[in-house]
Structure 1
């Protein structure tokens, strides 16, 4: 079926090598998925310029070819009759458009306002087709889509100016089972995420207004588990802003991902028409992942969803599609700032429970009031939002029931009852709400209402005038855009000439620069080698000093001038076991306790069981009860100030004169023990004699 194209319908052959000619012009690609290739994903495509002339047309191509042609012809607009022909889901569409998603418009030509029109009918109506046809071939559909988009028909699904960037900052790797350093690495990662988040926020706020930046964080003990930054800028611009910090972020071990958020897609997920007058209750669970739940005033769940770092405007757009919110509910007593801000924008009340809802309580509320809750509520964020909304509904339920009963007596309509319920939520009594509804709905309006009607008419007239002004400005913008493209074309021609001259200059200086580059590489390698040699020399010097100290220690040991001392960190079970495990401390050796203040019963028993020849420590720091237990077992305790402890590499040693000191202390402890035993025996014998004397006295009586 012939397509009517104005002004000139040129064939592909006329545009061989055209890529240089189309710079600075609008380039539109129409795409259509072949019906018989649903699983093979083969496309027909037509590329046209701003005059409607065909640059390229192809059939039976895969998406890889489509993607290459988008880049080759610098396409700025993609036209389709159904966006889901590009991908079966929103995420697949985003993935396929990839790096060009914030540089290209995606137009769904068959979507006019809130309605869809058959492509063939729309093409005939707009003059693209000369006659009505029941069906178009894939190539004809692609060409018709491109021409309709050129005429300004359809709805923009992706608009580069509306795309927002989302920055996700998280750990560089997951923290599985680990060893002794696991906790330290965990703390380092959380601290790094916090520092990188602060760094990025500071940099972004230099270039973007504070009001256009939103940050959501998941806090932890030592920093942040992860953070999400949403800002009103394109991903490509954000990447340019953060490029100077790329190496720094990489070294920090933090994973940073920049994604695109497309508002039009987010709004389509709700899938309901705007119901401005219907009062609704909203539950919100804000955070990195935000949960949204919407109920009517009968407690019926209308909508529940969750998303990664949903910004305030996305949440508000979703809510207002279902009606007029009368209350926004939270599941915690201290209402989050995001909830208060959204409620302020929407002009509705905020509900907070008297205490934070527990997980068990929220689970029970959802299970008892949502049919097939396992299929409806997908995660904990959605559950919390639903529970918050239901809790708010239950807070007003009794008043709603009383109002329903009273309204039946007064024979009020359902819309009147819904309005009265909304007034109750705002703080009116049942009587006041009913009176207000009945009074407002009377044919003879009050003076206030009569005065308001001219104002309403004036505002409507003003709105109509503003819409006309916006349309006029839009036309002016399109004219300016056309002028800009012409100027851009001239600029590119001059840039091409400059590039030729620069290329000649580069070739001339290439020989000299190549030599200097080689010299720089050699210089860097020599510097690195010199640094390595210096480090190795320092290590050799340390090892030589250690070796000399060890030789001297061996000589002194052979002469009997010194005695080796074994080190124990403290008198705890763990420290003593470590010393035994690594064969640091053996039976009958001298032990040096570094920290006598730290001890426990198991450690004392284990140390005494080892029967050390003596213990060297800071006696004034050792607890008195521990000191007494050790002395009772006849183990000499020598104060660190009485002997000189020296170190050779990993070995500790003291002068051999300590042997005499140990012998003296040992004899003293044994003598004290003998005296103590004698005193105990004498005391026992005395008590025995006294007891025996009393028994004899009783027998005589």
Structure 2
């Protein structure tokens, strides 16, 4: 029995207002008057098992009803207690039939109360708006911007994250043995988008697939709406009519193909439809006949085909290996039928292939039944043999079921002595009298126990309401505190960023002012002395003659980069660290000064840097002067070395002459 039921009835249409009465463990309580949107919020907060109405279109149009059902929490049913449209009965007649007392018929709260009580007794039709299918989309959570080297790396990273999330969901569904179809868009060694069509209800996926929002990857779980709202009885089942036994081939996918043949190999139906819902597939097959075998053209069978076979309790047929296109076309030529598309061809070929596998056994059964004169029941007997009965058991089962039962004829005796029967009747009357007294005593005891139970249930109901209210309040406070903590953290981070940007802005303005006055020279900043950084700099602000470059990390650079800078006729290089020898020597040869942070003071904000013009000029002049002095010293040393070598050679010559003389 449901724990909580809300009865709802309309008070006025313009503005739309509703009366709400709750039924909780046998206790009725008037909840008050609600607008449409307040009613939705109230229902979501209370999470009832059933929302009961006498007419769901009091909510509005089909769109309003659909919006209301979407807003319901998982597990909450919308019920129309008066029955499906066209077959509706009077609310008050239903109340009298179910022993419900009626007060003021014109009071909306009275109607809401009756709706809740009828729903508690299982009266009414549940409104079903969604298929037992769910679309799960795995997509990017953010726009990727306009490109660039870093942007390309970010895009590849996101596509890799999408691929991992798709694999994770796929693995979860396989472990849970839930059938599904998957479509992906591959990109950059990853996936740019993935879409699952899962053949299960939202309730089955609860806790298995968690929606995600706000990051690099988003997971969206969307139920599939039915084409039309359907009404399903709260209790009881529909009568099953006798249907023809058939073999059904199914080709699943975005476009579903269905092919049906009977047990004589004749084509019964062929159909295909794009985005066909699972419930529509079941309805189509049920309308055509009773499936004994569900067949597919590939092995192993797809998940949806297995689910259909389990639902109909039919045998599953798969070929020993996937059917080739040539074989499918040959099967259809043997049938002498043309189809509209490949999906119909694949489904019908699968069904006919299953029939051909059984054909020898079915022909043998036909021959036996003709000999026994049971050809009229051959369809049912064939179905039983396919389901696992042997031929004798199947024949017995069918013939015994059809044989009319003979009622035994009572034997009539000419003279009967009724004395023993009269005494037995008197004895039974005394027993009945004693049992009636005992029954009255037990009824009184039951009435007393019911009073105790009702009193205890009222206490439990009051306690449950208090506990429910306390839990909801604590959850709201907890969520609020978490939200406040999160916002305070974001505020602190934002204040820190604002303070840094303010300082940078002031410094940038000062630097720009110095540059405009001509007292400062801008520097072109390179994070590292590599070809990638040079290409980035050339794309944003190309190097030109007399530019000054500021290098943060020159490690690893070679002579080819130095020659490139020389060709650009730059004026000087300022480096935060010592330049590699190859680069330093190449620049020194071309008289391009190399300065360090000890030589000049660099003022920098992110990608923008300047240096004092006068200070730079002095540092350049000093460096060039040092290099000139070093060059002079080098030349003097070379000259002295040459003179020394000449002296040594001359002494050798003089010694040689002296020895000869």
TM-score (norm 1): 0.46
Highest Rg: 1 or 2?
Answer: 2
Q: TM-score, normalised by structure 2?
A: 0.48
Structure whose residues are more often helix by fraction:
1
